[in-house]
Every structure is written in structure tokens, then in C-alpha cells.
Amino acid sequence: MNGVRRFLTGNTASPDPPQPPHAVSVSPLSLNTKPSWPPADNDQTTNVLTESPVSTTSPLSLKKDKPRPQEDDQSWRSSSRKDSAQSAVSPRKTSRVPPPNTAPLVVDHRNGENAHSTRDELLLSLLASEAVAECQGHEILSSEQVEELKKEYQALSSRLAGLRKKLALETKIRDAALSLAKVNAPYQSISKQTNEQVDSASSRVESVQKDVWILSEQVNEMHRQLMEHRASVLSYSLKRLEKSNHSTQPPTVNGTFPPSAMSSPTDPRTLPVHTKFEHFFAGHSDAIVPESPKKPPSHEELAVLEERLIAVTRELSQANKQQADLARDLSLLKLEKEQLQTTLELELQTAEEQVRSLGSELIRYKGQVEELMGQKETLDSIRVELEDRTGQVVSLQQQLEAADQRGGEALEANNQVFLKEQELTKLKAEMDSALQAKDLELTQVNTRFEVEKARWASELAPMEEASATLWAVVQEHDIPLPSDFDTTIPVLAESITLFIDNTLNNVRELSDSVREQRKLSNTLKESHAEADALRKEVQYLENQSREQSDRIAELIAQQTSAVNTTVEYKGDAATLISTLAPVWAILPSAEARAAKLGQNRFRTTSPTQSPTGSPMKQSLSEMDVRSLKALYDSTKVQSRPGTPGSPSVIGFTIEAFVSRVQSLIADDKALVERLIRFAQAHDLLKKNAERAQKLAIDTSAALETYQKQVKVLEDRNSTISDRNAELMDEVAQLQEVVDQLATEKRELEEQAAEQAEICNQLTAANASLSAHSLSLADEITSATNAVRKQMEAQLAVVESQLVKANEEIDAMRMSEQIQRVALLEELNAAQTENDNLRAQLRKK
């Protein structure tokens, strides 16, 4: 354990060898964890030679408390991690990119002893074993996956570079917009536009930043996968190398590997990787036995090496300063270029805005010219109408002159013409004054004209509705129209008036027919009254016939009592004669009938008149009711000849009785026929009365409907006539307005000509401005192209100089690292020789 303690503590208890007169110390090798690329970030990786009075070998110090680099340097950090892993496995392996610096390895030389401590190799082996253990969980990808990842990584890195350039450009544009907003803050009209530009620029910057962040995340993920793959491959190869070394190297007598001429015992490649630390204990089979150290380098060699190291560091610092100056100049040139680009872009933008404003003004002027041309066309149409009116006035004047020549009222016409001329002169004077007043009120007249036009359109709508209603009335009542009809209101009104006249005529005819029907109804009423009278007479006759039969019976009884003895009948004949005697007394004789028929004439209006129209008839049915009543009156039966008391009863015979009975039967038949004719005439009159009554009701209803229609049409006609009068008044007013507008035409034409001249001047100015803007744009583009070419040439020169400086720096670093490696090997050799000498001294 004492040997291990002495080995780990640097053998402080051993006697010191003779010291040289001057102790020379070598600057420690500081390995920084920060990336050594790009060269602009190498300000912290300078080596400084310091003198240290420490007598013992300083331990290996690992600086883990340094801050980590930013996220943008993640790729450099991953590459430095890879290089550190490779340097831990093989320190002599060199690459174009210098390995990142690790914790500073402080090496002190005092009297040529303790050149290097084995604890550094131990810690390096521990780091290598930890790295191998950490890389065991990583996956080894296939070659196809690695190639795909590399391609995707290259594509995404190129895209990321483009996006970063775009982000830089957008940020510059945003900064320029912010500066413009600050400059244009006092101007409200321009500040709004600049604020909008600032908002749009900031939104674009935010979107590009988001894209850069997403793409950088993807790039970092792919780089991490590649680094894990490489670390796992290196750990696997290191394990295989250790296994091959264990199997191929033969052990020495002491259990150690024989050192080669190209390697030292403290080389990490020769040290086996152990999980335990038994080889550090004395007496172990795998213990490392230090050999006798070689001759330490002299003070002159160390001084030369230090001078060379100081010169190299100076050259490196000068190169770094030159590189920093070049980078500063390049950044200044880039800033100047960006400022020039922004100023040119702003000038181009202002020129484009001026061109747009001029184009909008040109479009506005063109619209005004088109409006004026439209007004001119309307004035031309008004002029044509005015000329037509003047032609009509001339024709009317000619007609007036002809009428003056034809008529005998020439003086009055002349006086009227003179008055009209005076009125015309007054009107002309008024028109002149109105023209002078209207020159200042042109816009008001235009607006008034538009208002009147709108009012005319609004009033035209009810006129159209009225015409539509008239047309509907015409179609509803089937009013006939002329062959060349027109749907205008006058034509429809005329047709409706004709229809109304026709309906009035029809109404008059119907009223006449109604009067005739009323007359017929009156006649029917009279016939009904006569029929009622006839019924009463028939009833009266029936009653009288009954009374007469009773009287005949009484007379027969009287005759039987007062029968003369002239003709005596016996037996049945007497009884028969006694029964027939009253009938014989009642029945009128032919002489009495003839006397009554001779005395009474038939009525001309009697319905029982014989169709033959003979003046005298020997039938009782041809007599009127009064004659029959007088013939069969009971009060006159006693005084009438042929009664039982009269002497004519004596001449009673069967033949005479039969003849009287036959004549009575004939009279009865005639009376029955007469009653039948009365009944038929009564039925016919009743039917005619019903028909006449129905016709009168229908005609009264039709007359009422016609009266209503006539009233409605009269109301409509009155409203239409009023509307026509109003429309004619409005037409007259519009005609006056048209006349006034015709007077304003000339002024509008003059203004249109002036505005046309102004438009021509504006077009010429616009053409000149457009040419000037085009020339400015060409100059700007040529200037930007020239500046761009110049800046690109300067940038190419600076880049070539930068490449050369980087190559020189790389060469200097390589030479410096080679020198450091040689020095370390020499120090290791000296330390091994020193250890060997100490071991020999201990053995002795």
C-alpha cells in the first residue's frame, strides 16, 4: 500500500536528485472543452507560458464548471464530442479539424524529474471506458440508413442556411421599417402606412423564425442519430481492438507487455482496459513496472522549445488578429451593402408608390372625362329635342300665318303674335339672366335633373300601374280595341269610354224592354183580374142554375096544380107531363133566346168569342153573362112567355120539350167549352206572367250590375282623366326643365373642352413621369447590379483571403500539435527513464 500511495502521490517521500541551478517550468497543456472552429471563436484557446515554482507534478484538472455553448453551436459541440472521443482512443491520430481542448493538463518539470504523471493516463482510460459504456445503448445503423441520413442532413442543412439568410434579410427589412416608422412618426398620413409595413415585416420575421426553429430541430435530431451511430461503431471497434491485443501480445517475465520503440508505457493504447485497478498494486501480475528513465532534455533544448512555442503562439495570435480584422471588415462591408440595398429598396418602393398614385390619378381623370362625355351625349340629345321643338314652333308659326291669311281676324292674330313676340323677348331676357345665374349653379342643376329624373321614374311607376289596371279591365270585360291598338293610356281610356257608351245604350235598351215588360205585367194583371171576375161569374151562374132548378121544381108544382083542361093526359103520361111541366116552364123558348141574342152583341175582348166571328148565333153559349142572367132571372120567370101560368104552357108537346132540352144540352156543351177556353187562357196568362216576372227580376239584377259597372268605370275614367291632366302638367314642367338644360348645354361643352385639355396635359405629364420613373428604375437596377457585383468581388477576395488564413492557421496548429506530441513523448520517455532509475535505486 505504501508503494501505491507513493505512486499516486508522485513519490514525494523519495530523495530529491541534485537540482540544477535554474528551475525551468513548461507552460501547461490546456485542453478546452469549447469548439476550436471557427477561428473567430479561438480567443480563449491561446497558450500562455508561465513560470511555476511548484516542485511536484500537478494533478490533472478537468474543468467541468464552464458554461455550455448556445443552441446554435450544437453541431460544433457534437463534432467536438466526436473528436474528443477519438482523441481519447488514439492521441496520435491527427485530422484536418483540430481536436477540441479538454481540461488543462498541467505538466511541471523540476530538475528533469516527474515529467508526466500516470494519473492522466488513468483518467483518460476511465473516460474511454465510460464513453464505451455509454455507447453500448446506441444503435448501429445500416449503410443505407446512414446514407439516407447523410443526404437528408445535407438537404436540411442547405435549407437551414437559406432560411437563416432569409431570416437575416427579413430582420434587416424589419429594422429598416422600424427606422422609417420612427422617422415618419410626426407625419400621420405616412405613419399609418409605415406602421402597416412594420407589422407585416414583424409577422414575416416571426414566421421565418418559426420555420428556422423547426428545421434546426430536425437537423439536430439527424446529427444526433449520426453521432450516436459513429460513437457506437467506434466503441465496437475499440472493444475488438482490445480483444485482439489481449490475444496476440505475449506477456513478459514480469507479466507486462514489452515496450516498443514507437510507444511509451504510459501510452493509452498500450494500457489495457480493466474493470478493476489491481494492476496499480505492487506485486500484481499485471502491475506496470517503470523502466529506467532516459536522459532528460537539457536546458538549452527546453529554452529553444519554449522560444519556438512563444514564436508560434505569437504568430497564431497575429493570425487570429488578422482574421478578426478581416471578419470585422467583412461585417462592415456586409452592413454597408445591406444599408445600400435597403435604401435602394426604399427608393424603389417610393418610386413605385408614386407611379401607382399617378396611375390612380390618371384613372380618376379618365373617369371624369367619361362622365363629361356622357353629359355631352345627354346634352346632344337635349339639343336634338330642342331643335325638334324649334321646328314644331316654326311649323306652328307657319300655320298661324296661313290662318291669318285665310281668316278675317288678321289684326287680332297680329296683335296676338305681337304679344307673343313680346313674351318671347321677355322670355329671352329671362333666359339670358337664367343662363348667367345657371353658370354658377351647374352642379345643382345636374343634381336637380337627377332628382327630377328619379321623381319622373317614381311617378312613371304608378302610371304604368294605372295602364296595367286599365289593360286588366279591358281584358276582364273583353273590351274591343282597334286593329292597330296600342297599350297607351289614351287608347285604353278611349276604348273604355266607347265600351261605357255601348253599355249605356244597352242599359237604355234594357230599360225600354223593362218598361215593356212592366206594361205586359200590367196587362197580365188585368187579365188576372178579368179571370177572377169570370170565376166569380161562373160561380154566380152555378148558384143561379141551382136556384133555377129549385124554381123549376116549384113551377112544375104550380103548373101541375094549375094545369088547364085543354089537354088532358092520363095515366103515366099525366105523371110524366106533370114532372116535365116545371122544366118546360124554366127552359127558354127559341123565340126568347132569339130575342135576347138579337138584343145583345158579343164583346170584342171576350175570350169566348167564336173564331168565325158571326154576328148572330142561335147558341146560348155565345151570349154574355148579363144576357144569361137576364134570361134565367127568377124574378122574370112568371112574366116570361112559356111559364106554367102563361098560355104557352098549353102548347106543351113532347117534341117541343125535346127540342128545348136539346138546345139546352147544346148550350151546356158550349158553356163547358167556353169554360175550358177560359181555363186554358188563364193558364197561358199565368205562365206568361211568371215568365215576365222572372225576366223583370233578371233585367233588374242586370241593370243593377250594369249601373255599378258604369259607376266604377265613371270613377276610373275621372281618376284617369285627372291623372292624365297631372301627367300633362308634369310633362310641361319637364319640358321647361329640358329647355333650361338646353340653355346650360353650351357652358357644359366649354367646361368639357377645358377638362379635355386638362386631361391631355395630365396624360402628357403622366407619360413624362412614367418615362422618368422607368429611367429611375433602370438606374436603380443598374446601380444595384454594379454595387452587387462590386460587393461580390470584394466578398470573393475576402473569402479567398479567409480560406488562406484558415489554411495557414490549420497548418500552424498541426505543426504545433506535432511539436506538442513530440514533446509529450520525450517527456514520457524521460519520466519512464526516471522511474526506471528510481526503481533501480530502490532495488539497490
- Kindly indicate the confidence band of residue 654, based on its pLDDT and cuts at 50, 70 and 90: confident
Q: Residue type for 583, please? A: V
In a 10 Å sphere around its CB, with 0-12 CB exposed, 13-18 middle and 19+ buried, how is residue 451 labelled? exposed
- Kindly indicate the confidence band of residue 502, based on its pLDDT and cuts at 50, 70 and 90: confident
Cα of 36 vs its chain's centroid, Å: 62
Instruction: Find cell 291669311 and name the residue.
Output: 405
Kindly report which listed range (321-325, 519-523, 639-643) carries the lowest average pLDDT score: 639-643
Kindly report which listed range (68-72, 358-362, 453-457, 701-705) carries the lowest average pLDDT score: 68-72
User: Tens of pLDDT along 715-725?
Assistant: 877 787 787 77
Mean pLDDT of 260-281: 47
Distance, CA of 831 to CA of 837 (rounded, Å): 10
Residue 738 pLDDT > 60, yes or no? yes
User: Tens of pLDDT along 105-154?
Assistant: 344 444 444 444 566 777 887 888 788 888 877 888 888 888 998 999 99
Residue 745 pLDDT > 70, yes or no? yes
- In the chain, the percentage of residues whose pLDDT exceeds 90 is 4
Determine the longest span between alpha carbons in the chain, in angstroms. 238
Q: How many CB atoms lie within 10 A of CB 303?
A: 11
Mean pLDDT taken over the chain: 68
Residue 30 pLDDT > 60, yes or no? no
Higher-scoring residue by pLDDT: 268, 593? 593
Mean pLDDT of 550-578: 60
Q: What's the half-sphere exposure (Cβ side, CA atoms, 13 Å) at 528?
A: 11
Kindly report which listed range (219-233, 427-441, 751-765) carries the lowest average pLDDT score: 427-441
Report the pLDDT value the prediction gives residue 837, as an integer from 0 to 100. 84
Enter the C-alpha cell of residue 589.
123558348
Mean pLDDT of 452-475: 71
Q: How many CB atoms lie within 10 A of CB 543?
A: 10
Kindly report which listed range (382-396, 477-491, 612-626, 669-683) carries the lowest average pLDDT score: 612-626
DSSP state of 254: T
What are residue 113's DSSP bridge partners?
110
Higher-scoring residue by pLDDT: 170, 277? 170
- Kindly indicate the confidence band of residue 103, based on its pLDDT and cuts at 50, 70 and 90: very low
- Kindly indicate the confidence band of residue 297, based on its pLDDT and cuts at 50, 70 and 90: low
Cα of 232 vs its chain's centroid, Å: 62
Is the CATH number 1.10.287 carried by domain 143-240?
yes
Kindly report which listed range (327-336, 439-448, 617-626) carries the lowest average pLDDT score: 617-626
Distance, CA of 713 to CA of 601 (rounded, Å): 61
Report the pLDDT value the prediction gives residue 690, as an integer from 0 to 100. 83
Residue 60 pLDDT > 50, yes or no? no
Distance, CA of 161 to CA of 168 (rounded, Å): 11
Report the pLDDT value the prediction gives residue 722, as an integer from 0 to 100. 82
- Kindly indicate the confidence band of residue 672, based on its pLDDT and cuts at 50, 70 and 90: confident
DSSP state of 649: G
Q: Please work out, in degrees rounded to the nearest 5, the angle formed at the alpha carbon of residue 347 by the alpha carbons of 341 and 349.
A: 100
Residue 314 pLDDT > 80, yes or no? yes
User: Tens of pLDDT along 179-208?
Assistant: 888 887 877 777 778 888 889 889 999 999
